[in-house]
Structure 1
Amino acid sequence: MSEYDEDTLTEMGRLGLDPSEFTDADLADGGDGEPEGLVPAPVLAVVGRPNVGKSTLVNRLLGRREAVVQDIPGVTRDRIAYDALWNGRRFTLVDTGGWEPDAKGLQASVAAQAEMAMQTADAVLLVVDASVGATTTDEAVARVLRRGDVPVMLCATKVDDDRLTSDIASLWRLGLGEPHPVSGLHGRGSGDLLDRILDILPESPRDLGFGAPGGPRRVALVGKPNVGKSSLLNRVSGEIRSVVHEVAGTTVDPVDSLVELDGEVWRFVDTAGLRKRVNTASGMEYYASLRTKAAIEAAEVAVVLIDAGEPIAEQDQRVITMVEEAGRALVLVFNKWDLVDEDRRLAMKRELERDLVRVRWAERVNISALTGRSVTKIAPSLRTALASWDRRVPTGRLNGWLSEVVNATPPPVRAGKQPKILFATQAATRPPTFVLFTSGFLEAGYRRFLERRLREEFEFTGSPIRMSIRVREKRSRK
């Protein structure tokens, strides 16, 4: 940061400080933008049987890699919404898991999510594998879609060249009109398909009885696998929004939902459980980890879920570190509290003092996503954390407080000299970023001391604080 705002320059001039005498330091600015507005857009649901290339086609229509893709069936399990843009028109593209009739177990939950997407969409795109032709599953899906009152368009995917053109005519028997050939992998025919999509989509979405003015705050649900992230999302949303199964790692793509909690609309994002470091994961797990990291960076506050019935693991601490490094507000939610007995509570108290001492500033909530116990306490904690994340301290008040603290506890002597703190200012919010102008280097311990006192004085609860030191340059003698 080489330039200072007017308030900072005025205060530095009053103290007789020259801004050019201080070395520049890199500041991590969390951004000062306002939350995005909630803009209604028509919804297109992409459905079909497993492994026909729906997610590959979705990425092609979006023009970017969003959905996790792997050459095995069943990668996508939830209904995931993405913002799409074509020819100046915005619409929402919903990717779904493979739909199969008479599915059992986990696949039945995936099929239920696909059916929900069909019922709530403004139009449906049925994807069929042109290299295989219409199967009995495709015919079953087509029968369901023909009974509905939503516009349906048929897409024949994996048409990479002209050899399959003659086989596409057989898809007319599905009774959904003209099949549109496209290659999700190479992009062949994707532009024509997008033009037809805009033709069948309405200008505005259907009124489904849910909406909110303004922009909802973005909340990311993160944690290691099987801690109850999807169960919590379903609990607060009041519907089966995310597939839940006892098998760890059910969620792969981030699931985005608008949720009304404690009288306020929030945008919750359920993410994949982080099992390994991103650089050591592979395949589907690697791309799921990347999506989770991107969801944290796109959020304003992260809710880190921890299994209260198990000891705090290294992976829990790694997830918290990711949130800290991203500079996002933090709320720690201990789930499955209904399974915690007295012995476990005593053990957890010791674990908190030992393993989470560096995030004492984070809000903590004990809940049970299964029974709904204390779930309503999450919203007040989110508001407290976001208020700290947005807080700005006036320069005059900050320097008055800093003078009192330094006079009572001066910085330690270093190399025979005691550094002086000449001036301080808050350079940014989201997260709160402070710059200290000094005559020498400040020890890490003293900086932690200042951060702790700063939190106590100005109530920065639930938000990380970044502190940068700028040392006055020595002028060369002429």
Structure 2
Amino acid sequence: MKKIGIIGRPNVGKSTLFNRLAGQRIAIVDDMAGVTRDRIEFTAEWLGRRFRVVDTAGYDLKEEIVKKEMQRQFMYSLEEADFFILMVDGREGVHPLDEIVCGLLREGGKSFVVAVNKIDSSSAENLAYDFFSMGIDKVFPISATHGRNVDDLMDEIISRLPEDEEEESFSYDGRIKLIVTGRPNVGKSSMINRWLGEERLIVTDIPGTTRDAVDTLFEYGDEKYVLIDTAGIRKKSVMFKDRIEKYGYYRWEDALSRADIAVCLIDGAEGLNERDVKVIADAWEAGRPIILVVNKWDAVENKDQAAKEMRADIDFKLQFLSNPPVIFASAMSGKNVYKIFEAAKGLYKEYTKRVGTGEANRVLQTALDRHQPPVVKGRRLKLYFMTQVAACPPQFVIFANYPDSVHFSYQRFVINIIREFFGFEGIPIKLFLRQRGEKKEA
């Protein structure tokens, strides 16, 4: 499948156009320059042609470490894409960086069109004429925000985009979606880069480098995955003070909702802290199985003793989890990084498992035989039957005469019996109680 890269200097509207072509808000958009850092991709379609759209970091010449890493990502995108949209700002006119990017495209023999953005009306189209000075035969005055003339731009691109010899599928169907999460600077992007064997995501020692939720398709063994890199999660009170970090938090919530399994990274050198526990608890409460990855293990001394202390800490602070896989790994050296996929494959099998109603009711009867629910305010509680109403995560409904009176400790007891008979090792189980005769939701 062909790739169309959207490139240009910072804050010319690349992410706005990317979101318009994708049909949804994927990339973070803000008036602040340099918001997009990693490459973000999405499959789009125009005139019956399917292609990948790539949003890139804005080209800049500043020397800060993050800016340098962004430029490396920009140069990678120059190698990967088959066609380019060079976006410029019509209101500001020709900028030296526009000319530099145009020159890079020409030097690389790349096919491209120039989209003059922020032309919101026909009366403003004369602003686009300035860009002919860059030696361009044709420019497209557009408004990425309002969609003005975007159809003409895409018609031109499709007419010039080379045909695919064999179309590659970028479908998410049948793929296990792994969200890589944790607090800032625990090595999330480094881990994904290690899996991919390339510096796909920006990595620095500065916390908060990743802002968007970045999806990458990946295959390991006989299984296909979607790897989702996310912003490091700090306290909401801190993140919400910065509007870009706030967007990153919402992207994290959205990514969590569409993931199957959460790969939660912990800094092995620093240990399990309060922020780690909160991120892990939020992922578990969202119904996602957890793989605990103790990263940076190569930097830990006296590993045997440190591992014992880490496991004891996990058992004490993460008691709400159900026997999660714990992997001591290093994204830097590559140690044990692929064991994560073995754990994910096993968890996914349990995560998608369904239990027949007959079997579920036999287990409910076993629970009642072992321990009847207590009498509440002189009323004997009766549990009539149980059924699994959903998977991913597994959800069970019990119909009772007084569902609101069933104590959470008895619900936990029933969940433990379900685990005893059906496994669901490492999987969050949701249990709901309803009045008999009340409609159950699938």
Q: What is the TM-score of this pair, normalised by structure 1? A: 0.83
**Are the structure 2 counterparts of residues 376 and 63 from structure 1 closer, same or farther at C-alpha, using a change threshold of 3 Å?**
closer
More divergent stretch after superposition (95-104 vs 105-114): 95-104
CA deviation digits over 1:411-441, x for unaligned, max 9?
2232234423322111111111111123343
Partner of 1:257: 216
Partner of 1:467: 431
> For 1:218, which of 164, 168, 177 is the aligned residue?
177
Match status 1:235 vs 2:194: yes
Partner of 1:391: 353
Match status 1:458 vs 2:417: no
Deviation at 1:150, TM superposition (A): 3.9
Q: Is the 8 A contact 2:119 2:142 kept in 1?
A: yes
Deviation at 1:115, TM superposition (A): 1.9
> For 2:84, which of 124, 134, 145 is the aligned residue?
124
SS of the counterpart of 1:294? helix
More divergent stretch after superposition (240-249 vs 361-370): 361-370
> For 2:324, which of 362, 372, 383 is the aligned residue?
362
Deviation at 1:455, TM superposition (A): 1.6
**Are the structure 2 counterparts of residues 263 and 48 from structure 1 closer, same or farther at C-alpha, using a change threshold of 3 Å?**
same
SS of the counterpart of 2:397? strand
Distance in 1 of aligned mates of 2:437 and 2:259? 38
SS of the counterpart of 1:424? strand
Match status 1:327 vs 2:291: no
CA deviation digits over 1:323-379, x for unaligned, max 9?
233323322222112233446445433422332000133322221111111112101
RMSD: 2.7
Given residue 333 of structure 1, which amino acid in structure 2 is its aligned partner?
A: V
**Are the structure 2 counterparts of residues 345 and 329 from structure 1 closer, same or farther at C-alpha, using a change threshold of 3 Å?**
closer
Partner of 2:398: 436
SS of the counterpart of 1:82? strand
**Are the structure 2 counterparts of residues 202 and 322 from structure 1 closer, same or farther at C-alpha, using a change threshold of 3 Å?**
farther
More divergent stretch after superposition (384-393 vs 215-224): 215-224
Gap regions ≥5 residues in structure 2? none
Q: What is the TM-score of this pair, normalised by structure 2? A: 0.89
Partner of 1:317: 277
Aligned length: 433
Distance in 1 of aligned mates of 2:172 and 2:352? 21
Deviation at 1:389, TM superposition (A): 0.9
Distance in 2 of aligned mates of 1:379 and 1:436? 34
Partner of 1:20: none
Distance in 1 of aligned mates of 2:18 and 2:86? 12
SS of the counterpart of 2:236? coil
Q: Is the 8 A contact 2:43 2:170 kept in 1?
A: no
**Are the structure 2 counterparts of residues 125 and 315 from structure 1 closer, same or farther at C-alpha, using a change threshold of 3 Å?**
same
More divergent stretch after superposition (93-102 vs 367-376): 93-102
SS of the counterpart of 1:93? strand
SS of the counterpart of 1:359? coil
> For 2:225, which of 255, 266, 269 is the aligned residue?
266
Q: Is the 8 A contact 1:212 1:265 kept in 2?
A: no
Distance in 1 of aligned mates of 2:115 and 2:437? 66
Distance in 1 of aligned mates of 2:140 and 2:282? 43
More divergent stretch after superposition (74-83 vs 169-178): 169-178
Q: Is the 8 A contact 2:178 2:261 kept in 1?
A: yes
**Are the structure 2 counterparts of residues 213 and 450 from structure 1 closer, same or farther at C-alpha, using a change threshold of 3 Å?**
closer
Distance in 1 of aligned mates of 2:176 and 2:231? 20
**Are the structure 2 counterparts of residues 263 and 101 from structure 1 closer, same or farther at C-alpha, using a change threshold of 3 Å?**
farther
CA deviation digits over 1:156-206, x for unaligned, max 9?
112234565334223223334311111223333223223223323344378
**Are the structure 2 counterparts of residues 425 and 165 from structure 1 closer, same or farther at C-alpha, using a change threshold of 3 Å?**
closer
Given residue 431 of structure 1, which amino acid in structure 2 is its aligned partner?
A: P
Distance in 2 of aligned mates of 1:185 and 1:213? 28
Given residue 361 of structure 1, which amino acid in structure 2 is its aligned partner?
A: N
Higher relative contact order (CA 8 A, sep 6+): 1
Deviation at 1:88, TM superposition (A): 5.0
Which runs of structure 2 are paired with 1:52-451 in the superposition (5 Å)?
Answer: 52-100=12-60, 105-162=65-122, 164-204=124-164, 215-277=174-236, 280-342=240-302, 344-440=306-402, 441-451=405-415
Q: Is the 8 A contact 2:322 2:427 kept in 1?
A: no
CA deviation digits over 1:18-68, x for unaligned, max 9?
xxxxxxxxxxxxxxxxxxxxxxx4321001112222112323333432211
More divergent stretch after superposition (86-95 vs 375-384): 86-95
Q: Is the 8 A contact 2:42 2:54 kept in 1?
A: yes
Distance in 2 of aligned mates of 1:188 and 1:205? 32
Distance in 2 of aligned mates of 1:364 and 1:281? 34
Distance in 1 of aligned mates of 2:373 and 2:97? 73
Given residue 246 of structure 1, which amino acid in structure 2 is its aligned partner?
A: D
Distance in 1 of aligned mates of 2:41 and 2:91? 27
Q: Is the 8 A contact 1:122 1:205 kept in 2?
A: no
More divergent stretch after superposition (427-436 vs 335-344): 335-344
Distance in 1 of aligned mates of 2:10 and 2:240? 28
**Are the structure 2 counterparts of residues 79 and 317 from structure 1 closer, same or farther at C-alpha, using a change threshold of 3 Å?**
same
Distance in 1 of aligned mates of 2:345 and 2:22? 33
More divergent stretch after superposition (55-64 vs 42-51): 55-64
Distance in 2 of aligned mates of 1:154 and 1:182? 10
**Are the structure 2 counterparts of residues 283 and 106 from structure 1 closer, same or farther at C-alpha, using a change threshold of 3 Å?**
same
Gap regions ≥5 residues in structure 1? 1-40
**Are the structure 2 counterparts of residues 192 and 322 from structure 1 closer, same or farther at C-alpha, using a change threshold of 3 Å?**
farther
**Are the structure 2 counterparts of residues 351 and 125 from structure 1 closer, same or farther at C-alpha, using a change threshold of 3 Å?**
same
Deviation at 1:121, TM superposition (A): 1.4
SS of the counterpart of 1:69? coil
**Are the structure 2 counterparts of residues 102 and 287 from structure 1 closer, same or farther at C-alpha, using a change threshold of 3 Å?**
closer
CA deviation digits over 1:243-290, x for unaligned, max 9?
000000101111211223344331101111112328945411111111
Q: Is the 8 A contact 1:236 1:260 kept in 2?
A: no
CA deviation digits over 1:134-153, x for unaligned, max 9?
33322222122123344211
Deviation at 1:321, TM superposition (A): 3.1
Deviation at 1:77, TM superposition (A): 0.7
